[in-house]
Structure 1
Amino acid sequence: MSGVFQSELRRFAVAGLVCLASCGPTDGASEHEEEHVSREAQALTEGAPLSVHDASCLQLVDQNTWSTYASYLTAVPNARSLSDVLLDLNRAGPVLTSLNHPPATGYKGGFRWNDGDMATTEWIPQGMTAGVSGGKNVVMVSWHYGLSPDKGVRVSVADVTDMSGTAVNYRHLLLVRPTASGNFTTVPEHGGGLTWFGDYLFMADTGDGIRVFDLTQIREVDTSAACEATIGKTATASGTVWCAYGYKYVLPQVSAYVVPLSITSPCRPTFSFLGKDTRGSVDVILSGEYCNNGSTPCPYDGTTPGLGGRLYRWPLDSTTSRLKAVGGVVKPEKAYVMNEPNVQGVAPIMTTTSTTSYWLSSTRSSGALYKVSTTSSRTAYRATDAKWALMPEGMHATASGTNLWTVTEGVNGITNPATGGRVVFFVDQASVD
């Protein structure tokens, strides 16, 4: 379907600020009132409006490996562009039909993965983002690896420019981190969130911050049997080759933005998912925290476990497509407590210029889409009411205000896309606005 987007580390011991004692939710206070926040965790209400949060204690620091990692990559041959990869897609994902798409309010279209990717227990879909490359509309989805040895994270690149046929073509790339001149290794992270600005793909690094991968530095590597169990530079009987566990392409990390080790709980956030917001005067990366009332509590839950997950807006430098640093650090321009549990993804509501409203993707109620803002209680579209897909993860809202995309993790053991199998689909933004 042409025009579907329509315009579209590990921790380093770096110096930083400690968390201020006043860092906490303000229950919708104005920017001036944020200075007078409670020092204690507050009781929260599920479905309540977003609460403005004082994030003055928080910062990210650039690991600044841009030049170092680029120099390491010069010794790895066969540089390729994203456009090259889009001409070499090797898998076909059947387009969903009226008989097998998941229930979702405003459903417009989508696809499932091929049979092997629908059934694999080794890889699990997580984050997603989308954009345009060489005139083609592209969806990217991250998958984390669940076995040992850890192969890290792979990213699916899918061409969704024309969805009028029977299938969408896609290919998996393995994310890697340069380690030395001419060598690289895996990125053993959860890959819970992606977002794409310019030539950079940003990925959530759960405990540390945000990793950055360069779409102009893709490398084609060896796919022979000698590489199926190997990563990086490898000596073989026929000479030196570069391997990526059998994958044909690797997408290298170039830097990362990390929370200094001196910033501890409750100030220190986790980075469970990412999104992008282009509505304001400055483009931002959205990051947020997954919280539940069990194994993953959050520091601001108070007496209502699972609701204290925070949502952050990190400003970008439009000239570089990197995060905007002032005095060597990146500070969030705004933060909120979401008052929602089990959040897995975020997208801005593009039918408004206000930056105080969002869609949240949650696995609450087996799957839900929440429309939230700072002024109104949520609107919910739940899987249990047949209004949303099961197990939704990352999201992307097209800048035109037309489509809202999401990817599902899939329900264990189910491959039918209508009843919980893994899918990528989009709905009409106006239908859920």
Structure 2
Amino acid sequence: MAGLAGCGPAPELEPGDELTGSEQQALTEGAPLTTHDASCLKLQDQNTWSTYASYMTPVGPAVGLSGVLQDLNRAGPVLTSSSHPPAVGYKGGFRWNDGDMATTDWVPQALTAGVSGSTNVAIVSWHYAPTTAPEKGVRISVADISDMSVSAVNYRHVLLVRPTSSGNFTVVGEHGGGLAWYGNYLYMADTSDGMRVFDLTQIREVDTSTTCDTAIGKVGSVWCAYGYKYVLPQVSAYVVPSTLTSPCRPKFSFLGKDTRGTTDVVLSGEYCNNTGTSCPYDGSTPGLGGRLYRWPVDSSTYRLKTVNGAVTPERAYIMNEPNVQGVAPIMTTTSTTSYWLSSTRYSGALFKVSTSASRTAYLSGSSQWARMPEGMHATGSGTNLWTVTEGYNDSTNPATGGRVVFFVDQAAVD
């Protein structure tokens, strides 16, 4: 079936040829990444950076990420030889405390990592699962992973909020399926519209009295966040213009961070399967048309690179894999044509993919990977590959499907 120009797989080009259009094609699961023409796609900076920052000025003290790291209030036991899930190259990890392992209200989704001062930090997002009011949106867990030889990893939950007016805010009603951390900015996937950006220096302390257990925003003379002590405010967003429609208009299911090459990028990708969740571009093979985009980051500001307020992906691929939940770059090479994909296909899998070879698969059913893996982060040194799982069949046993955060040796799965 004929596709839209600028919205399909890029055909193989001979020297001197130009890319003028494309056709939707049958796709093959496990095939190499297919170069995709994304010239139709732009993101627009909503440019609320100064407005949203000013809205939050009256709200509590700004403690920033460094302040939260000094006030971690939960302990997640470090995994042992008998409690960790099976994974090729496994090196270490932790589970959440008993309450977070068992709760049905919140579900882990994305993971990113970085350094704050001298502290190695993992940040995990959770989406609020109940469909009844009130909507609590997305929270993140800030975890100190500096020393994985200790008995437990300390962490704290922080609620994401969006400023609405001077001195007021509301929840961020999104799935929270992807995170990427650059500088002071935390990027989060906004499934239908693009990416939201949060400023880690603007984490603010709010009230934790019983008044706030069921309230959000300003209540009388205090600010509330459903009982959470800290809020992380949105500062801006990069959105797909409403004029862009399917198949050019993508989904933003997950994010990743890639520091290979000459320009750092935020990676974004689409979740799709062959049952009930299709992708805007699925060719003639539903479930395999999820696309992966590379969005350039300005190294001086850590914001996306814009021209006249618009951001263009520097490259895009069709992944040829279903049920993709996360992405990480293969850091042992400077080439930007190879990745790890985290998938809930086969109840859990890690796929090594590239433009030049069919995938290599590490499957949970073969005791090679954890069940229900989600977001990932590859350390820039090429040593560790981190991932988080959302939990399998309500298990609280970390060895057999309970929620965990763990890392493996990159070389073992390369």
What is the match of residue 211 of structure 1? 196
**Displacement after TM superposition at 1:225 (Å):** 0.6
What is the match of residue 399 of structure 1? 380
What is the match of residue 10 of structure 2? 26
Larger deviation: 396-405 or 290-299?
290-299
Quick one: which amino acid aligns to residue 243 of structure 1?
C
Partner residue of 1:339 out of 320, 340, 344: 320
Q: Quick check: 1:34–1:54 contact (8 Å CA) kept in 2? A: no
Q: 1:11-410 maps to which residues of 2 (within 5 A)?
A: 21-26=5-10, 35-38=19-22, 40-147=23-130, 148=132, 149-235=134-220, 240-410=221-391
Q: Quick check: 2:5–2:20 contact (8 Å CA) kept in 1? A: no
**1:337-368 Cα distance to aligned partner (Å, 9 max, x none):** 00000000000000000000000000001000
Secondary structure in 2 aligned to 1:85? Answer: helix
Distance 1:144 1:28, change over 3 A: farther
**Cα distance in 1 between the residues matched to 2:109 and 2:159:** 15
**Cα distance in 2 between the residues matched to 1:390 and 1:417:** 10
Q: Quick check: 1:145–1:152 contact (8 Å CA) kept in 2? A: yes
Unaligned runs of 5+ residues in structure 2 are none
Q: Quick check: 1:144–1:190 contact (8 Å CA) kept in 2? A: yes
**Cα distance in 2 between the residues matched to 1:138 and 1:28:** 42
Q: Quick check: 2:331–2:381 contact (8 Å CA) kept in 1? A: yes
**Displacement after TM superposition at 1:78 (Å):** 1.3
**Cα distance in 2 between the residues matched to 1:212 and 1:31:** 40
Q: Quick check: 1:28–1:51 contact (8 Å CA) kept in 2? A: no
**Cα distance in 2 between the residues matched to 1:203 and 1:28:** 33
Q: Quick check: 1:407–1:422 contact (8 Å CA) kept in 2? A: yes
TM-score by length of 2: 0.97
**1:358-389 Cα distance to aligned partner (Å, 9 max, x none):** 00000001000000000000000000111000
Larger deviation: 40-49 or 418-427?
40-49
Q: Quick check: 1:176–1:185 contact (8 Å CA) kept in 2? A: yes
**Displacement after TM superposition at 1:27 (Å):** 5.5
Secondary structure in 2 aligned to 1:216? Answer: helix
**Cα distance in 1 between the residues matched to 2:62 and 2:298:** 27
Distance 1:255 1:399, change over 3 A: same
Quick one: which amino acid aligns to residue 188 of structure 1?
G
**Cα distance in 1 between the residues matched to 2:41 and 2:387:** 29
**Cα distance in 2 between the residues matched to 1:162 and 1:31:** 52
**Cα distance in 1 between the residues matched to 2:323 and 2:217:** 36
Distance 1:87 1:167, change over 3 A: same
Distance 1:33 1:241, change over 3 A: farther
Distance 1:187 1:135, change over 3 A: same
**Displacement after TM superposition at 1:277 (Å):** 0.5
Q: Quick check: 1:102–1:417 contact (8 Å CA) kept in 2? A: yes
**Displacement after TM superposition at 1:37 (Å):** 3.7
Quick one: which amino acid aligns to residue 21 of structure 1?
A
**Displacement after TM superposition at 1:77 (Å):** 2.2
Q: Quick check: 1:72–1:183 contact (8 Å CA) kept in 2? A: yes
**Cα distance in 2 between the residues matched to 1:31 and 1:175:** 49
TM-score by length of 1: 0.93
Give the RMSD, CA atoms, in angstroms.
Answer: 1.3
Q: Quick check: 1:287–1:312 contact (8 Å CA) kept in 2? A: yes
**Cα distance in 2 between the residues matched to 1:62 and 1:368:** 35
**Displacement after TM superposition at 1:81 (Å):** 1.6
Identity percentage over the alignment? Answer: 76
Q: Quick check: 2:76–2:155 contact (8 Å CA) kept in 1? A: yes
Q: Quick check: 1:28–1:374 contact (8 Å CA) kept in 2? A: no
Unaligned runs of 5+ residues in structure 1 are 1-18
**1:389-432 Cα distance to aligned partner (Å, 9 max, x none):** 00000000000000000000001320000000000000000000
**Displacement after TM superposition at 1:134 (Å):** 1.2
**1:167-219 Cα distance to aligned partner (Å, 9 max, x none):** 00000000000000000000000000001000000000000000000001111
Quick one: which amino acid aligns to residue 163 of structure 1?
M
**Displacement after TM superposition at 1:31 (Å):** 9.8
Secondary structure in 2 aligned to 1:323? Answer: coil
Quick one: which amino acid aligns to residue 160 of structure 1?
I
**Cα distance in 1 between the residues matched to 2:334 and 2:232:** 34
**Displacement after TM superposition at 1:29 (Å):** 5.1
Q: Quick check: 1:110–1:426 contact (8 Å CA) kept in 2? A: yes
